[in-house]
Amino acid sequence: MKKHNFSAGPSILPQEVLKQASEAVIDFNGLGLSLVEISHRSKDFIAVMDNAQALVKELLEVPEGYSVLFLQGGASTEFLMAPYNLLTEGGKAAYVDTGAWSSKAIKEAKNFGETIVVASSKDKGYSYIPKGYDIPNDVDYIHFTSNNTIFGTQLKEFPGGNALKVVDMSSDIFSRKIDVSQFDVIYAGAQKNMGPSGTTLVIVKDAIFGTSGRTIPSMLDYAVHAKAGSMFNTPPVFPVYVSMLTLEWLKEKGGIDAIEKINNEKAALLYNEIDSNPSFVGFAAKEDRSNMNVTFTLADESKKEKFDALAAEAGISGINGHRSVGGYRASIYNAMPIESIQVLVNAMQEVNK
C-alpha cells in the first residue's frame, strides 16, 4: 500500500532524492566508496558543500554580505548561538512568543542577559499570531519563529524597526518567497523542507560578526564557521548531501515561486475541506493559518474511531496532533504531492457517510 506521510518531522522527502541518496551511500561519484566514508576534505565532498551553499543563495536570492552555513545541533543550538553572537553585555533581547519553540528560545536567551517578551499568543493556546506590538528601540535584536509546527500558525509578514532581526524558519524555509535582507540571522533545521535531520542551515549577515563583545566558544561562533566555510569541524556529510539534492530538486521544479504556488493550492484544498465539513474544526485563527502544518480536530469525538480507521485504510500516516494540542495535524511540506492531500480529504468526507 502506498503511504501518505504527513509527519511533522523528520518529514517526507522527494522520492527521487531518496533514491539518489541511497545510491551514493553505496558508491558516490563512481569512486567505489560510500559517501559516508570519504574524507570531508576531499574535492568530491567540497564540491557538495559548495553546491549546497550556492543553491541556497540562488533559490533564496541571498544578497552580498551574508554567509551560508551548514552547522550541527539543530535549531535548539541556534537558540543559544543567537544570543551568544548578538546579545551584548548589559544589552537586551526581544522575543515574540508564538509557541513551544519560541518559548524554548526565550529560555536559552535568558541565560545570557535581559530578555523581554514583546508579544505572546499564549493567552489563547498559541492559536493566533500577535500583531500591533511595539519593538523597543534599545534591544540588540528581536527574535521570531516564522512557522509553528505544533499549533499550525504562521507569520505572514514581519514587523519593521531598527533592531537586528533573527528568525527561526525551521519549518517553512524554501516554502515561500522571503526577503533575506530583512533579517540578520535566519536559521532552520533541515528536517522539514530541506533534508534529513543532522544539519542546520544558517544564513547570517557578516556585519554582525564580533559585535556582541563576548568571548564566544569556537563551536558557537558564527564568524569561526563562516571563515572555515562550514568546515571548522567535520560536517554532517550525509545530511548536507541530501539537502543539496533536495535543493536541486526544488530548482528543477521552478524554484521558490513555483513551490509557493503549489503550497498555496495544497493548503487551500485541505483548509476548504476543514471549513466546509461539519465533522471538523480548524485550530488556528484563519488569518494566521500555516501552509505547512494544518491543525484540526473532530467536532464530534465519537467519530474518532471511524476517522482513524478510514485514515489507516487509505495509507495515511503521521496525522496525530502534538500531545500538547491533541486532534490532528497534517504537515504538507514541499515534497508532499497534492494527490496525497486529496486522499486525506476523501477520508474526511467519508466520515459523514
Catalytic residues, by residue number, are: 101, 168, 192
Strand partners, 154: 147
What gap in Å lies between CA 66 and CA 181, rounded to an integer? Answer: 9
What gap in Å lies between CA 313 and CA 330, rounded to an integer? Answer: 17
- Reduced to 3 states (helix: H, G, I; strand: E, B; else coil), residue 341 is helix
Distances (CA, A) of 258 to 288, 290, 334: 22, 18, 11
What gap in Å lies between CA 135 and CA 245, rounded to an integer? Answer: 39
DSSP assignment string, 272-314? HHHHH-TTEEE-S-GGGB-SSEEEEEESSGGGHHHHHHHHHHT
User: And the C-alpha cell for 160?
Assistant: 519593521
H-only helix segments in 140-299: 222-227, 237-252, 255-276
Q: Which residues of 286-307 are buried (b: 16+ CB within 10 A; e: fewer)?
A: eebbbbbbbbbbbeeeeeeebb
- Local structure of residue 126 (DSSP, 8 states): T
